[in-house]
Structure 1
Amino acid sequence: MTFEEWIACAEALAADHRSLSQADTATCRRALLGVHRLFKIAPTPLLDAYARVPERLLGEAARARADDVTGGNFAWHLPGTPDLSAWALAAGAQARALDEVLFTTAPSHFGPVDPEEWRCATSQAYAIPRARTREPADKRDNQRFTRRGVLHHRVVPEVLDAGYRVRLVRLDTTAAPAGEQVTMGAALFPGLDLQIRREGEDGFVVTGAACAGMDVTVLRQLQAAFADGCFAAMWPELTVAPTLLALIQRTLEDRALSVDPRNSLQLVVAGSWHVQEEHGLANVAPVLDGYGGVKLLYRKVLPYQDRKIGTEAIAPVLEVPVLVTDDHLVGFGICKDFCDQGVPLAFADLDVDLVLVPSMGNPVTMDGHRSTAKRMRTLFGTRAFVVQQAEAERPADEQPGWVLPFPNDPTGLATPDLRQAGDWQSYKGTVPRGRD
C-alpha cells in the first residue's frame, strides 16, 4: 500500500470516528481495532516514522485525546501535511486514547470472562485486556507500534494472515505476575527409539516411542519440575504416547492433594502424539493445567517431510488455540509450525507473551526455531521456549537434544550452545513485555 492510499484509509477511518458519540465499551473497542488495523496495513516508512515519534509527545497527545473521547468526541485531527511523523503521531495518539478509555470503562476485565466479550464482529478481532502495560514508560522511545502502540490490550485477529482461525481458551493460574522471573523445565529422552508405520504411498505414522526406564524417567522429571518451582514443563514432539500421557495426568492429579508450596507447576505441554480423530490423523499436543486437566489440544499444522520415510500423514488443521491467563497470552506450535522459514507461519501476526514448542529434529531445525523466535521477539516482545528431542536415529552421544530457553535474544547463542545433554533441566527468565 502506498502512503497516498494509506492516507485515504486514514481519512475514511477518521470520518467514521467523527460519527461516534457514545464512549461505551463496544464503540471504544471497534474504534480501537480500526486504528490498530490502520497501522497493520501502513507502509514501512510510516511505521518507521512512528518509531521515531518521542514518547513524551505521543503520551501528551494521547492524554488530550482520551479526555475528548471520554466526553464523547471521537474526532481526531488529520494533519494538513504529507509529513510522515505528523500522521504517525495523529493516528498513534488516537490508538493510545481509545486503548486507555476502553480499559478504564469496560465493566469487566479479568476473572471468569467469556473471551467472546473481547471480540468485535465488525473488526473480526479481539481486544484482550491485560493487567499490566506492555512496555514500561522509560523503554518506549524508538519502539515500533507493535511494541508501544496499544498498552492495555493485546489485539488478536479472529483469522491470522496465514489463514488459521484463532480460538481463545481461558486458564486461571496462581503463577507469579507478568514480568517476574519464572522457571520452565525441559524434559528429554536419552536413547529414544521410534516405531514408524508406513501410511499410504508416501506417508508415515509414529506408533511407538520407547527408551530404557521411560516411566521412571518421566516420574523423576515431574518431581524435578515440582522441586524446581517450574511454572511450565514440556516434553518433546512425538514422545508421549497415550499410556505415558495417562501417567503424567495421574501424577499431576495426585499433586492436588499436596500442600507443598514448592509445587507451583501451572502448565504442562505433554509432548505430542499421532492420534486418529474424526477428520483424520493429527499430531496432537495436550496442554494440561498443573493438576492434569486438559485445557486445550494443539494440533500440528505443517506435516514433516522426510526423504526416507515420506510425509507425516496428518490431516489439514485450520485452527490455532491461544491460552489466556491474567498475566500471559500463550501460543503453541509443534516443530515445523515454528521452524519452517519457507511458508507464512501462524506466528507472523500472533501477538502473545510466550510460545511453547515441542519439537524433534537436528541443528538446522533449531536454527529455524531461533529465526522465528527472533522475529517474534522483535515485533511483539514474545519469548519462545522450544524443547527439541534429537532425531531418534542420531548416535547416542548426540542425544538427547536442544532447548531454546525463552532468552532475551533468541540468536544470542549459537545452536551448539543450546544443547541439553541430560533428560531434565530447568531454565529461569522473564516472559512478558511489561518488565523485561
Structure 2
Amino acid sequence: MTKKDWGRACESFASFVQTKAQIGGESLRDFLAEADRLMRSAPRDQRAAYQELREADIQSSAEIHAKEVENHGMHWPNGKYQQNRVLLDLAIQIRTLDELLRDYSASVHALRRSPEAHWMDQAGLSYVIPTRRPRVPEMAKGDGDRAGYDKRGTLHHRVISTTIEGLSVKLHVPRTLRAMTAPAPLVGGGAAFPDLALDYADREGRFEVTGVRCKKMDELVKEQVAAVAACDFAVWPELTVDDDLLALIRQALKHEGLRRDTGHGLIVAGSWHRVDEDGVRRNRAPVLDALGRCICWFSKIAIYGERDAGFEDATGGEEIVVLVFEDFIASVCICKDFSDLQERNVWAMLPVDVVLVASMGDAKTMDGHLIRATELSKGHRRRAFVVQQGLWNFHDEPTNFLLRAPEHVPRDVAETHFCEPYSLCKIED
C-alpha cells in the first residue's frame, strides 16, 4: 500500500469511527482489530516513523481521549481527521481502544465457555486477546521513545491475525483457563536423550523415522518429568517421542505433573512421523497440559531434507498453533519452521510471549535458531525456547542443545556460546 493509499484508508476509517457513537465490548474489539491492521499495513517509512513518537505523548493523549469517548461516544482524536498528524492520531486511537477494551475484557476472558470465539473480530480477520503480560515501556531508558509499534502499540491486548503467510492461526484455550493473574517470571524445562539412536526406512528416496532407541528410557523419562515439575512449560525434542514413549510421558505427568500448585503448564511432547486424523503422514507433535491431557496436536510446516536420506516422508502442516494460558501466550513449532533463514520469520508476525521449539539437528541448525531467537527478542521483545536433540547420523557431532535466556546456566549444563539476550548451552550426557 502506497503512502497515498494508506492515507485514504486512514481517512475512511476515521470517518467510519465518527459514525459509531455507541461503544461496547464487541465494537471496541472490532475497532481495535481494524486499527491494528491499518497500522501494520502502513508504508515502511511510516512504520519507521512510529519509533519517533514520544511514549508520553501517546499515553497522555490516549488517557484524555478515552475519557472523551466514554462521555461523548466513539470519535477520532481531536474530533477530525488531519493528514499531517495521521500517524500520531492512529497511534492514540489504538492506545485508547486498548485502554477502554481492557475493562470489558476482564469478564470475557475467563467466565465464558469459549472465550476464543469472543476474541475474534466480526470480520474474522483478527483475534484480540487480553494479554497476560502487559507491555510496560521502559521510559527511564528511553525505550518508549525509540520502540516500534510491535513493541508498544497495544499494552493490554495482543492482536493476532487469523491467517499469517497463508497459514491458518488456530487458538487453543485450556479447559482450566481462569481470570488473569499477576505475571511472574516464566520457567522452562528441556529434556534430551543421551546416546539416542533412531531407525528409519527409505520411502522411495524419502525417509520415515520408524524407531527410537535409548538405554533405560522408561527411567529416564520419569527423571525428566520430575526434573521439570516446577516449570511453566517443558519441551522434548523433535522425532524422539513415538507413541510408546508418549504414553510413558503422559503417565508420568499424571502422577508428577507440572506446576501442581496451580494446575497450569504446557508440554510439547516431542514429535514423530505420524498419520493425522485425515490419514496424512506428518511430522506431528502433541501439546499436553500439566497433567498429561492432550490439548491439541500440531504439525511441522517446513519439511527437512537430509543430505543422504533425502526429505522427510511427510506432508507439511497448514496451520500455526497459539495457546492461551493464565500466565502467558505461547506458540509452538518444530525445528526448521523456526530455524529456516531462507523464509520470512513467521514468528515475528505473531505477538506471543514465547515460542517453544522442538528441534533435531547440528550446530548449523542451532545457528539458525539463535539468529531467529535474537531477532524476536531484540526486534519484538519476545522469547524463544529451543530444545534440540543431536542429529542421529552426525557421529562426530551428537551434542544436545538448549537455547534459553542467559540469566544463569543450570546445573549439569555447560555454556558453549553466548549471544545476548540468549545463551546456547550444551546439555551434558
Same fold, TM-score > 0.5, yes or no:
yes
Q: Distance in 2 between matches of 1:87 and 1:97?
A: 15
Structure 2: unaligned runs, 5 residues or longer: 408-416
**Secondary structure of 1:16 counterpart:** helix
Deviation at 1:414, TM superposition (A): 8.9
1:170 equivalenced with 2:173 (yes/no)? yes
- Which residue is 1:211 aligned to? 214
Cα pair distance change 1:414/1:213, threshold 3 Å: farther
Q: Distance in 2 between matches of 1:20 and 1:225?
A: 51
- Which residue is 2:236 aligned to? 235
Deviates more, 1:383-392 or 1:338-347: 338-347
Cα pair 1:230 1:265 within 8 Å, conserved:
no
Deviation at 1:87, TM superposition (A): 2.6
Deviation at 1:152, TM superposition (A): 1.1
Residue identity opposite 1:420 in structure 2: K
Percent identity between the aligned chains? 33
Cα pair 2:237 2:360 within 8 Å, conserved:
yes
- Which residue is 2:367 aligned to? 367
- Which residue is 1:421 aligned to? 427
- Which residue is 2:150 aligned to? 146
Q: Distance in 2 between matches of 1:259 and 1:134?
A: 25
Residue identity opposite 2:198 in structure 1: L
Cα pair distance change 1:22/1:173, threshold 3 Å: closer
Cα pair 1:267 1:288 within 8 Å, conserved:
yes
Q: Distance in 1 between matches of 2:210 and 2:259?
A: 38
TM-score, normalising length: structure 2 = 0.88
1:337-383 residue CA offsets vs partner (Å, 9 max, x unmatched): 00111123432311100111000011111111122222222343210
Deviates more, 1:134-143 or 1:30-39: 134-143
Deviation at 1:412, TM superposition (A): 5.1
What do you get for the CA RMSD once the two structures are aligned? 2.7
Deviation at 1:303, TM superposition (A): 0.6
- Which residue is 2:34 aligned to? 34
Cα pair 1:111 1:326 within 8 Å, conserved:
no
1:314 equivalenced with 2:320 (yes/no)? no
Cα pair 2:357 2:386 within 8 Å, conserved:
yes
**Secondary structure of 1:288 counterpart:** strand
Cα pair 1:155 1:351 within 8 Å, conserved:
yes
Residue identity opposite 2:353 in structure 1: D
Q: Distance in 1 between matches of 2:319 and 2:311?
A: 21
TM-score, normalising length: structure 1 = 0.87
Q: Distance in 1 between matches of 2:31 and 2:82?
A: 22
Cα pair 2:110 2:179 within 8 Å, conserved:
no
Cα pair distance change 1:300/1:151, threshold 3 Å: same
**Secondary structure of 2:103 counterpart:** helix
- Which residue is 1:377 aligned to? 377
1:165-214 residue CA offsets vs partner (Å, 9 max, x unmatched): 11111124799956522322211111111101112x32211001112222
Which protein, 1 or 2, shows the higher relative CO under an 8 Å CA cutoff with sep ≥ 6? 1
Cα pair distance change 1:176/1:89, threshold 3 Å: closer
- Which residue is 2:4 aligned to? 4
Cα pair 2:359 2:387 within 8 Å, conserved:
yes
Cα pair distance change 1:260/1:128, threshold 3 Å: closer
1:99 equivalenced with 2:98 (yes/no)? yes
- Which residue is 1:155 aligned to? 159
Q: Distance in 2 between matches of 1:419 and 1:276?
A: 33
Q: Distance in 1 between matches of 2:384 and 2:392?
A: 24
Cα pair 2:179 2:326 within 8 Å, conserved:
no
Cα pair 2:401 2:426 within 8 Å, conserved:
yes
Residue identity opposite 1:167 in structure 2: K
Q: Distance in 2 between matches of 1:370 and 1:173?
A: 32
**Secondary structure of 2:392 counterpart:** coil
Deviation at 1:299, TM superposition (A): 0.8
Deviation at 1:336, TM superposition (A): 0.5
- Which residue is 2:414 aligned to? none
Deviation at 1:307, TM superposition (A): 2.5
1:117 equivalenced with 2:92 (yes/no)? no
Structure 1: unaligned runs, 5 residues or longer: 424-436
Cα pair 1:233 1:265 within 8 Å, conserved:
no
Q: Distance in 1 between matches of 2:348 and 2:373?
A: 10
Q: For this pair of structures, how many residues does the alignment match?
A: 411
Cα pair distance change 1:339/1:112, threshold 3 Å: farther
Q: Distance in 2 between matches of 1:13 and 1:415?
A: 39
Cα pair distance change 1:415/1:65, threshold 3 Å: closer
- Which residue is 1:225 aligned to? 228
Deviates more, 1:101-110 or 1:306-315: 101-110
